[in-house]
């Protein structure tokens, strides 16, 4: 029997919760229901979910806040926000809070199933790209994570893209425009503020647990990746042979 995907349904309206429960169960998903934000946070902390359906209007904590807290707890499962018509003030706010997708009620169940399927699909951004090493850092594209001094750190999509850019330019001062172009893929696609927020999240993960920061601020210019040996290498599948892709700095 194949492993079923586990979905957490956070919804306080019982009618909608029941509809979702039966629809998703019929589609062969294992469904766990939470009626409040607090219950959702507790369940998500104690159980692995492949995807979370999250109502925005909950009786205790707002869905938006639940979403933020889930991300703060490093829960990386896709989160699809369910929102009542007219209660959606800012789509950008949803994505800033870490949502993957959203749907407005009343929603079409077929469409919801399609979006769930899309959300569960593995991220195709970095198919079979080999890991890259700079000093004590090893970037794992296939796992979308970075390893520092043996500690594996999971990164969110933008954090990964930023880290990748830093590691492609070790020891160089990189400006926010270049970082934005790399991570958002368009010129002027992200505000300075947004980049700084993502860099902060990245630093919380990559630098905070360690005595020495690797990402440093260069006031007035941007940021710089500082490591003991600023050489970028691609590691082959066996992890043995290296191919230099940047020169050693003096």
To Ca ion, the closest distance from the beta carbon of 18 in angstroms equals 14
State how far the Cα of 99 lies from the Cα of 104, in Å rounded to an integer: 14
Q: Which of 57, 60, 62, 76 binds Ca ion (CB under 5 A)?
A: 57
Which CB sits closer to Ca ion, 56 or 134? 56
Q: Kindly write down the DSSP assignment for every residue of 98-152, as one continuous string.
A: T-SEEEESS--HHHHHHHHHHHHSPP-SSTTPPPEEETTEEEEGGGTEEEETTEE
Q: Which of 32, 33, 55, 222 binds Ca ion (CB under 5 A)?
A: 55
Number of residues engaging Ca ion in binding (CB under 5 A): 3
Binding of residue 65 to Ca ion (CB under 5 A): no
Which CB sits closer to Ca ion, 12 or 207? 12
State how far the Cα of 36 lies from the Cα of 42, in Å rounded to an integer: 10
Binding of residue 60 to Ca ion (CB under 5 A): no
> Which residues between 183 and 222 bind Ca ion (CB under 5 A)?
none
Radius of gyration of the chain (CA): 20
180 three-state secondary structure: helix
> Which residues between 26 and 45 bind Ca ion (CB under 5 A)?
none
**Which residues are CB-contacts of 72 (< 8 A; sequence separation ≥ 6)?**
none
Which CB sits closer to Ca ion, 101 or 154? 101
Q: Which residues bind Ca ion (CB under 5 A)?
A: 12, 55, 57
């Amino acid at each position: 029997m194949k492993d079923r995907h586990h979905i957490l349904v956070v919804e306080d309206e019982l009618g909608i919760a029941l509809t979702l429960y039966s629809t998703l169960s019929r589609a062969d998903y294992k469904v766990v229901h939470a009626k409040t934000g607090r219950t959702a946070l507790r369940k998500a902390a104690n159980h692995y979910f492949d995807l979370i359906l999250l109502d925005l209007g909950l009786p205790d904590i707002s869905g938006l806040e639940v979403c933020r807290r889930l991300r703060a707890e490093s829960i990386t499962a896709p989160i699809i926000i369910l929102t009542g018509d007219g209660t959606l003030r800012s789509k950008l706010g949803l994505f800033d809070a870490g949502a993957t997708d959203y749907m407005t009620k009343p929603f079409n169940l077929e469409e919801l199933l399609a979006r769930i399927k899309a959300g569960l699909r593995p991220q195709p951004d970095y198919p079979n790209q080999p890991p890259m090493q700079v000093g004590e850092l090893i970037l794992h594209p296939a796992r979308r994570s970075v390893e520092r001094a043996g500690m594996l750190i999971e990164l969110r999509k933008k954090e990964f893209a930023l880290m990748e850019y830093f590691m492609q330019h070790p020891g160089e001062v990189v400006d926010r425009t270049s970082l934005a172009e790399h991570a958002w893929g368009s010129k002027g696609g992200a505000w300075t503020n947004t980049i700084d927020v993502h860099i902060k999240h990245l630093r919380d993960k990559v630098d905070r647990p360690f005595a020495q920061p690797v990402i440093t601020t260069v006031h007035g210019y941007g940021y710089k990746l500082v490591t003991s040996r600023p050489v970028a290498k691609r590691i082959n599948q066996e992890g043995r042979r290296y191919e230099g892709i940047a020169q050693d700095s003096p």
